[in-house]
Amino acid sequence: MFILPSVKIERREFVMGIKIIGLFIFLFIIVASIWLGSHILQFIHLPSIGFVIILSSGLALMKYQKGNGKLSFITNLKKYSIPSGVIGCLIGIIQMCSNYTDPAQLPAGVAVAVLTIFYGLILYCIIDAFTEQKRQIA
């Protein structure tokens, strides 16, 4: 008779596995919703993605404190991802309004402007899921 050796899974590895499964579900639902409603390429705008990542990183570096390590940077990156998306949206709306000539172009301009908020929220959710909060004991 063949007996399988007992496999002891560390709690940390188990939790990381659950987080990765959650990440795939999160991304699958977002991609499926986009795909079912419209063309997926409408949601991919590389300048907006770069803007959110670079601005969030710059703000996180400004708040970086020596001695706190990578966790301080990642925590600040999470903290500034949504505001970076909002700043990008405001910049996009201001540029769109300053070059307003054709009313038919307005919906496309607003869609591109709002994408930065979308990217900021996704970045926040992903970083939040993979950073552990230290529990405070009262």
DSSP one-letter string for 92-112:
HHHHHHHT---GGGHHHHHHH
Listed in sequence order, the residues at least 6 apart from 126 whose beta carbon sits closer than 8 Å to its beta carbon are: 23, 26
**pLDDT digit string, tens, across residues 11-41:** 777 788 888 999 999 999 999 998 898 888 8
Give the pLDDT of residue 134: 57
Calculate what percentage of the chain has a pLDDT beyond 70.
88
51: which 2 tokens?
A: 């803007």
For residue 49, is pLDDT > 90? yes
What pTM, to 2 d.p., does this model score? 0.79
- Say whether pLDDT at 84 is over 80: yes
Measure the CA dihedral 92/55/37/31, to 10°.
170
